[in-house]
Chain A
Amino acid sequence: MGGNSDMKLIDENGIRIDGRKVDELRPIKIEAGVLKSADGSAYVEIGKNKVLAAVYGPRECHPRHMQNPAKAIVQCKYNMISFSVSDRKRPGPDRRSVEISKLISEAMEYVVFTENYPRTSIDVYIEVLQANAGTRCAGLTAAAVALADAGIPMRDMVPAVAVGKVNDQVVLDLNKEEDNYGQADLPIAMIPRTGEILLMQMDGHLTQAEFDKGMEMGVKACMEIYELQKDALRRRYAIANAESDEESKDEPQQINEEA
């Protein structure tokens, strides 16, 4: 957070530098089943963010000592590719991506019916191809779709979005400039059906009223993203079903969420 900067990011009419209103999401595109080798995959664009997620598993858990005899473990790896940011990032994990990977793994472990697959590992790989603030939320949104695409039973989809504070106003879905020069950042992920929060982080400065307003905006936006996630899966399985009708070999897979 750049703190209270002079940078003007919202004009007199409440319009942000990318033309959005304060409670407006960036354009979102979600596609399921984009990779062949993976058991499940998804591609998500949120504004200028481009994120791929792939799921492998449930499969044998390596290293062995990580195995849980009662349930599967969910291992998410969040990674930014070297040319996804303006200054080249050295390939490989850094402290930030290790933390984000841990949070996303924990969130996903809760929604997956891990007790169905003892001793196994469900591996989720998130690759940020192009970053423009909000990549952990985009990554989590993609990971949830990829898990469902892999046919893994889940309690629900998981949408995620960030809210923040810019020029003393609470705004939804920060872009890069707002993230750099804003006053607060609050990424959240939730289970739409129950309203439970699965991921929450915050940095910067928010009053209680601002927090409440931010959460209200965030929850509403999550419901919008939820619809887009479900739509992506419907489109994916509409195609899969049409193909299996033709060739009558692929079993139509169960979509593990409420239509």
Chain B
Amino acid sequence: MARSIVSEIKRDHIHKLIADGHRVDGRAWDELRQIQIQTNVVETAEGSSRVKIGNTEVIVGVKMTVGEPFADTPDRGVLSTNAELIPMASPSFESGPPDENSIELARVVDRGIRESHMIDLEKLCIEPGKKVWINFVDIYVLDFDGNLFDACSLGAVAAIKSAIVPAKANGLGEDYPMPITCVPVSITAVQIENSILVDPSLDEEKVAAARLTVTTDNNGDLRAMQKGLSGALTLDQVRTMIETSRRLGAEVRKIIG
């Protein structure tokens, strides 16, 4: 994600620790950093959250407007996910239109939510073919210390879950909670020197060979996956990552509530 400039001494340090089965911050290979979730942090949004995973911090808002559905889904609401890697969050982020990193990030988060049918988009149809609810999920990274995929996905899910459909302000009756069917959770792991590390910190991400994000639903079924970086993963490594994602996903789902 960031420009991958790592000093050799740091790279060696991380590699040596991994060879002994350790991590820089003392975590186990399958241990997540501390997760903090706050919801309803911005009153002007229909739903919002501020999420921290370790020192990585994101703020997510959901804005809803009434608009036209897409021609191929006339009876469904619309979901649009956008991620902003603002220069506040890291010395390596620059202002400007979304680059390939933030586009990939937004699309992976979007896929987890869309493919799990977390939002019941059929219930967000007002008048088939004419009027539906448009959901804008906007993610802003505030502080970047690795693993944006999980932080952003968690933030988006928490914000959507807390959203209230602004029916009254649009002359469509009483407000009601966002129709939700499940809670997708994404867990990302990286491969470094053939070891697998879950929830990589920024330093670990910088020396990683390959990355895999796995999004599971409440049943532990797979809903979205994305491999990243230029290294390769063995099928066993992929299986381990999926199994870990399912196990940790269930824990994170409890935190989301």
Minimal Cβ-Cβ distance residue in B for A86: B44
Q: In whole angstroms, what is the CA distance A108 to B142 when docked? A: 22
Partner of A125, one of B44, B86, B138: B86
Over the window 117-149 of chain A, the binary record of Cβ atoms lying under 8 Å from chain B Cβ atoms (1 yes, 0 no) is 000000101010111000000000000000000
The size bracket of the interface on B is 20 to 34
Interface hit among A12-20, A74-82, A211-219, A246-254: A74-82
List residues of B (26-71) whose CB comes within 8 Å of A's CBs.
Answer: 41-45, 48, 55, 57, 59, 61-63, 65
B101 within 8 A of A: no
Over the window 131-143 of chain B, the binary record of Cβ atoms lying under 8 Å from chain A Cβ atoms (1 yes, 0 no) is 0000010101011
- Residue numbers in B under 8 Å from A64 (CB-CB): none
Given that A36-B145, A82-B63, A91-B82 are known contacts, is A48 also in contact with B138, CB under 8 Å in the complex? no
The DSSP consensus for interface residues of chain A is: loop
Asked whether, in the complex, the Cβ of A85 is within 8 Å of the Cβ of B87, the reply is no
- Residue numbers in A under 8 Å from B55 (CB-CB): 36-37
Partner of B43, one of A38, A48, A91: A48
Asked whether, in the complex, the Cβ of B142 is within 8 Å of the Cβ of A35, the reply is yes
B126 within 8 A of A: no
- Residue numbers in B under 8 Å from A59 (CB-CB): 91
B88 within 8 A of A: yes
Q: In whole angstroms, what is the CA distance A130 to B140 when docked? A: 13
Minimal Cβ-Cβ distance residue in B for A129: B42
Q: In whole angstroms, what is the CA distance A91 to B83 when docked? A: 10
- Residue numbers in B under 8 Å from A83 (CB-CB): 42, 44-45, 48, 61-63, 136, 138
The size bracket of the interface on A is 20 to 34
- Residue numbers in B under 8 Å from A50 (CB-CB): 41-42
Minimal Cβ-Cβ distance residue in B for A124: B88
Asked whether, in the complex, the Cβ of B59 is within 8 Å of the Cβ of A37, the reply is no
Given that A50-B42, A54-B88 are known contacts, is A92 also in contact with B97, CB under 8 Å in the complex? yes
- Residue numbers in B under 8 Å from A92 (CB-CB): 97
Q: In whole angstroms, what is the CA distance A34 to B107 when docked? A: 29
List residues of A (33-48) whose CB comes within 8 Å of B's CBs.
Answer: 35-38, 48
- Residue numbers in B under 8 Å from A77 (CB-CB): 87, 95
> Can you add 6 more A-B contacts, CB < 8 Å, to A52-B88, A81-B61?
A35-B142, A36-B145, A92-B97, A129-B59, A130-B43, A130-B44
Binding site for A on B (CB under 8 A): 41-45, 48, 55, 57, 59, 61-63, 65, 82, 84, 86-91, 95, 97, 136, 138, 140, 142-145
Binding site for B on A (CB under 8 A): 35-38, 48, 50, 52, 54, 56, 59, 77, 79, 81-88, 91-93, 123, 125, 127, 129-131
Give 19 pairs: A residue, B residue, CB < 8 Å, sorted on A: A35-B57, A35-B142, A36-B55, A37-B89, A50-B41, A54-B88, A59-B91, A77-B87, A81-B61, A81-B140, A83-B42, A83-B138, A91-B82, A125-B86, A127-B86, A127-B142, A129-B41, A129-B42, A130-B43
